């Protein structure tokens, strides 16, 4: 699975959009981009995933660049409850063992 690079931490004002970047320059053609988040004292939570088209669900939007070497997770109207560590993971959905490997993630602090 391709490695990812994320900023260690970010701040965002409550009510504003939070844009979390992720670099994955070694991504291969069949690898998907997954985003999870972990709120303090909870298990990681699946947010969204995509291959090359932009994706949107009730939680967030995922924008993947045309060359697929980077992506951005967008929380359109961040709330205090969105304060968490956000993990960007690149993997084949049917990789050996369906394993998910977590890096350091981005610690997002939403401030009032």
Spell out, one character per residue from 38 to 57, where the chain touches other proteins: x when CB under 8 A holds, - when not: ---xxxxxx--x--------
Q: How far is the CB of 48 from other proteins (least distance, A)?
A: 9
Interface with other proteins, residue 8, by CB under 8 A: no
CA-CA distance, 24 to 32, in Å (whole number)?
11
Interface with other proteins, residue 103, by CB under 8 A: yes
All residues at 6 or more sequence positions from 98 whose CB lies less than 8 Å from its CB, including other chains: none
**DSSP letter (8 states) at residue 5:** B
Interface with other proteins, residue 21, by CB under 8 A: no
Specify whether the CB–CB gap between 16 and 38 falls below 8 A: no
Count of residues of this chain found to bind other proteins when the rule CB under 8 A is applied? 21
Interface with other proteins, residue 69, by CB under 8 A: no
Structure tokens belonging to residue 11: 């701040």
């Amino acid at each position: 699975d391709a490695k990812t690079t994320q900023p260690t931490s970010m701040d965002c004002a409550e009510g504003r959009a939070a844009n979390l970047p992720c670099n994955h320059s070694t991504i291969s053609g069949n690898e998907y981009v997954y985003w999870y988040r972990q709120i303090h004292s909870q298990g990681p939570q699946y947010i969204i995933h995509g291959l090359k088209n932009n994706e949107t669900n009730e939680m967030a939007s995922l924008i993947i660049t045309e060359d697929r070497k980077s992506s951005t997770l967008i929380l359109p109207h961040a709330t205090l409850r969105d304060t968490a560590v956000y993990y960007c993971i690149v993997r084949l959905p049917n990789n050996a063992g369906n394993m998910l490997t977590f890096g350091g993630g981005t610690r997002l602090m939403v401030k009032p």
